[in-house]
């Protein structure tokens, strides 16, 4: 019998927050056999969450086979696994997968599923029109677990993406208020953003310096801005003066690492 090649890979998994309303990406070091990382990721969804999150995929389900054909993952289970969004989000984290077909004992369960918008937030009730609108990634701490949750806020398309992202953070989580915490203090205003190479210099007014949860406030700004392709670090200013000793804050290796 051939001996399986075993490695450890860091995979992104999606579970529900304690309310069951929001999807939360977590990063987990996972045992992988014979380079079948996507298979290992789905099996981790079945194994379930840790640290206060809720499962979406049934613990009773068993993955019979997972194959990838021309960018489509075909995941065949022995029963209805539930948690379709969790499966689709987890599998489309892989660059080789753009859509997912879920099967039960070889029979298609619904149609092909593309990746949906994660935790959409649309306070202006804008129509989805990718030539005129875009989604900004915003991070807020969960109100009920030790995780940072990503919301996707729809806004009119703008060339000032970094400024719009921070402004949206200042405006808060909107309809998700109570499920996530607003940690940028009320009364804080954005004085401006400048780019120095791949570092964003973010200048806030004085209330920012007195945030009750200053570490969380700074962290969520860094997480949100470094999701943008052109930004790799953030330097904070308050009223035009360097803050936090002028340190450049960069995104950790993985948000919500287990």
pLDDT at 1: 61
Name residues whose C-beta falls within 8 Å of residue 230's C-beta, 6 or more positions apart in sequence. 195, 198
Q: How far apart are CA 106 and CA 83, in angstroms?
A: 18
- All residue ranges of the chain with pLDDT < 50 are none
Which pTM value belongs to this model? 0.91
For residues 87-125, one letter each, b for 16 or more C-beta atoms within 10 angstroms of the residue's C-beta and e for the rest, the string is bbbbbbbbeebebbbbbbeeeebeeebeeeebbebbeee
Between CA 120 and CA 149 the distance in angstroms is 12
Query: CA torsion angle for 95, 98, 104, 109 (degrees, to 10)?
Result: 160
Per-residue model confidence as pLDDT tens digits over 220-239: 999 999 999 999 999 999 99
Q: For the chain, how far is it from start to end, CA to CA, in angstroms?
A: 34
pLDDT at residue 255, rounded to an integer: 87
């Amino acid at each position: 019998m051939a001996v399986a090649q075993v490695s450890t890979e860091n995979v992104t998994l999606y579970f529900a927050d304690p309310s069951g309303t929001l999807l939360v990406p977590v990063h987990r070091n996972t045992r992988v056999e014979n380079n079948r990382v996507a298979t290992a990721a789905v099996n981790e969804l079945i194994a379930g969450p840790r640290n206060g999150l809720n499962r979406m995929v049934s613990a009773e389900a068993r993955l019979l086979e997972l194959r990838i054909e021309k960018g489509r993952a075909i995941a065949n289970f022995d029963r209805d696994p539930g948690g379709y969004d969790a499966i689709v989000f987890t599998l489309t984290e892989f660059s080789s997968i753009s859509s997912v077909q879920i099967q039960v004992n070889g029979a298609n369960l619904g149609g092909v599923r593309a990746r949906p918008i994660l935790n959409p937030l649309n306070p202006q009730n804008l129509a989805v029109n990718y030539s005129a609108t875009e989604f900004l990634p915003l991070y807020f701490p969960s109100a009920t677990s030790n995780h940072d949750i990503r919301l996707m806020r729809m806004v009119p398309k703008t060339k000032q993406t970094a400024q719009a992202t921070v402004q949206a953070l200042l405006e808060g989580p909107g309809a998700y208020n109570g499920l996530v915490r607003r940690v940028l203090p009320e009364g804080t205003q954005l004085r401006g953003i400048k780019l120095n190479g791949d570092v964003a210099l973010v200048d806030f007014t004085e209330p920012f310096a007195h945030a009750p949860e200053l570490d969380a406030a700074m962290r969520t700004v860094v997480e949100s801005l470094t999701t943008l392709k052109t930004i790799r670090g953030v330097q904070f200013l308050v009223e035009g003066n360097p803050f936090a000793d002028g340190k450049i804050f960069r995104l950790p290796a993985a948000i919500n690492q287990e």
